[in-house]
Structure 1
Amino acid sequence: MPVWDEVHPATISVQRTRAGDHCFVGYDDDESNWDVLTTFAWTGLARGEKVMLFAAPRVSDDELWSRLEADSPSMAGVRACGQLVLTSMRALLRPDRGFTAERQWQRIREETARARRQGYTGLRTYIDMHWVADLDADLDTMAHRESHAEHLFADGSYSEICAYDRRRFDDDILARMCRAHPVNLLSRLGELRAVHGDTSLRLIGEADLATGEQFCAAVRGALARTAHSRELVVDLTQLSFLSARCADDLLRLVGAAEEHDRVDVRCEPGQLRVLRALGEPGPDRLVLTGTGTRC
């Protein structure tokens, strides 16, 4: 796993993106890129946003429509009404032939305003950064654009994923671009990331059958690491999915952690209901905290 992914302070799964987010994602293979793109697109459509997709220049519109249609039979409707638009960076910048941050910002502001006039709640774009080579853009100019674009997102009407193919950009550029974005995305669906603090464990992504062993290992490791302090905070709020099996494993591991006086599990309402339904081991040890209130 690249170092810049490990240390970014705001890493989430694509399912948890919100209006107004400016996101970096790096991908290692085409399939993971397609999964993030289609999830981001359909989430925006479901929320009443207009969606513009800037695929890699080598990808044809027919291939992109085919990928999107494979996920939903309702493609014809959003395609006909113009809620989903396939375009390119060249088309966005016309009549300019070269890239400047100012021209791109101008056009994005115009497209965001147009989306609102058309009755959509906002605009979201998925921009595959292969366009940088296609337009022979300067990477320093691109880095300036990425790190000075906060005005586009200030009112929550616009959100964007900038997708970088790790096979086409070197590590220094990827690290630089990742730092320039307020939000970093997990690179693929179904991924689980564990972030360890001194007395905390934060879990990001999906805790299910496929990642169950990794989930348990992260919890065991955190409990072992914090045995001397006798307390641990487990943050589940950045999980996009928590299976009943993983929830039960968590309760079992906490129940067996006799060296701990307190394990605070922070969770969202749905997660809280699952954990409560499964039962609470060690009433003096386990604390379930949901929606900002001790439960």
Structure 2
Amino acid sequence: MATDTCRDLPVQDIGRGDHVCLAFADDAEQRHVLSQYLADGLRQGERVLYFADRNAPDEVLGWLPAVGIDPGPLISRGQLAVTTADDSYLASGTFDPDAMVAVLRQEVAASLAAGYTGFRVSGEMGWALREVPGADRLAEYETKVNAVFAEGRSSAVCQYDARLFGPDELHGFDRCHPSAAELRPLYQDARLRLVPAFRSGHHALRVIGTVDHQGTATLAAALQTLLGRPGDLYVDMGELEFIDLAGVRALAHAADRMAAGRRLHVVHLAPLMAQVVRLVGFDGIPALSVDTAEATA
């Protein structure tokens, strides 16, 4: 199967040089990533620009006090600005990728000339689903603008709401970005992290660390949470260190509960563990698909 090639980047690690795709499933996921991303840039002396669409500008500014940022003085001195897609991407009435790339280059240059340490931008991309002239060129823009951020003076988080964009659209836009923003873990301790994500445009769960008798119930609960989301579910085992038979059984039971027409795809599983799945007969579950690390490399 084809797999996503971009890396998942924790929000605290996003910095100058990064062009990051954020696919999110609910408002809390969006707010968690964006409020920290904006706050980190402001604390580092960067100029920050936000292009709102589904959220009103005042709503976005309302996220910041919870992370210790008073937006009023920052807006007054020009370090922070929140505007709308209609006044940014679509200011000319049509979307022109080359013009937008040029605008961002100008914003970077102006920020540095004003003495800021860099430039940080984020945009809600739902406007592209409206009947906007040029919206079909969004993937072209996302590819071209990589060159701006690769210069190492600025960063961006481009936001795609999975409730609005379909899996094929999410996958296509994700592939235009070198990195994806990591979402808040459903569970984490010293041995195990369970992180919601997107793979091939579908809802996914990254399993990082060790799933033993202590972690099986936690894994089952995380799978149950994600089963409530639409479409196929991917379980990415690329960062798994160990999983016992009870953990494998939790995967099988989750697949057995999938609604008709849906599948649970276990990807990047070590070949030895995939063999265990076959030996115990779990590969006979119609909704369960297992791809090894070798097969997905």
Give me the TM-score of the superposition, normalised by structure 1: 0.61
What letter corresponds to residue 131 of structure 1 in structure 2? W
Kindly state the Cα deviation for residue 53 of structure 1 after the two structures are TM-superposed. 0.8
> Deviation string for 1:155-211 (max 9, x for gaps)?
21121111100011111111111111000112336664589xxxxx9949xxxxx9x
Is the counterpart of residue 144 in structure 1 residue 144 in structure 2?
A: no
d(CA) in 2 for partners of 1:122, 1:213: 41
Name which of 216, 224, 241 aligns with 1:222: 241
What RMSD in Å do the two structures reach over aligned CA positions?
3.5
> Deviation string for 1:28-81 (max 9, x for gaps)?
11111111111100011111111101122x422222222222322533322221
Q: Gaps spanning 5+ residues in structure 1: where?
A: 196-200, 205-209, 226-295
Q: Are the counterparts in 2 of residues 55 and 88 from structure 1 also a CA contact under 8 Å?
A: yes
What letter corresponds to residue 108 of structure 2 in structure 1? T
Is the counterpart of residue 60 in structure 1 residue 79 in structure 2?
A: no
DSSP-derived class of the 1:131 partner: helix
What letter corresponds to residue 181 of structure 2 in structure 1? L
> Deviation string for 1:231-286 (max 9, x for gaps)?
xxxxxxxxxxxxxxxxxxxxxxxxxxxxxxxxxxxxxxxxxxxxxxxxxxxxxxxx
d(CA) in 2 for partners of 1:220, 1:68: 33
2:41 is matched with: 44
d(CA) in 1 for partners of 2:218, 2:81: 40
2:108 is matched with: 112
d(CA) in 1 for partners of 2:14, 2:239: 29
Q: Are the counterparts in 1 of residues 119 and 155 from structure 2 also a CA contact under 8 Å?
A: yes
Is the counterpart of residue 185 in structure 1 residue 181 in structure 2?
A: yes
Q: Which has the higher contact order (CA 8 A, sep 6+)?
A: 1
The size of the alignment, in residue pairs, is 209
Name which of 168, 171, 176 aligns with 1:175: 171
Q: Are the counterparts in 2 of residues 48 and 120 from structure 1 also a CA contact under 8 Å?
A: yes
Kindly state the Cα deviation for residue 141 of structure 1 after the two structures are TM-superposed. 0.9
Q: Gaps spanning 5+ residues in structure 2: where?
A: 188-192, 198-205, 210-214, 220-236, 245-297
Q: How does 1:65-214 map to 2 (within 5 A)?
A: 65-72=61-68, 74-93=70-89, 96-134=92-130, 136-138=132-134, 140-188=136-184, 192=193, 203=208
What letter corresponds to residue 23 of structure 1 in structure 2? V
What letter corresponds to residue 96 of structure 1 in structure 2? S
1:8 is matched with: 5
Give me the TM-score of the superposition, normalised by structure 2: 0.61
> Deviation string for 1:206-236 (max 9, x for gaps)?
xxxx9x956xxx89962469xxxxxxxxxxx
DSSP-derived class of the 1:98 partner: coil
Q: Report % sequence identity.
A: 26
Name which of 22, 26, 29 aligns with 2:23: 26
d(CA) in 2 for partners of 1:168, 1:102: 25
d(CA) in 2 for partners of 1:98, 1:13: 34
Kindly state the Cα deviation for residue 14 of structure 1 after the two structures are TM-superposed. 1.2
What letter corresponds to residue 92 of structure 1 in structure 2? S
Provide closer, same or farther for how the CA distance between residues 222 and 129 of structure 1 changes in structure 2, counting only shifts above 3 A. same
DSSP-derived class of the 2:23 partner: strand
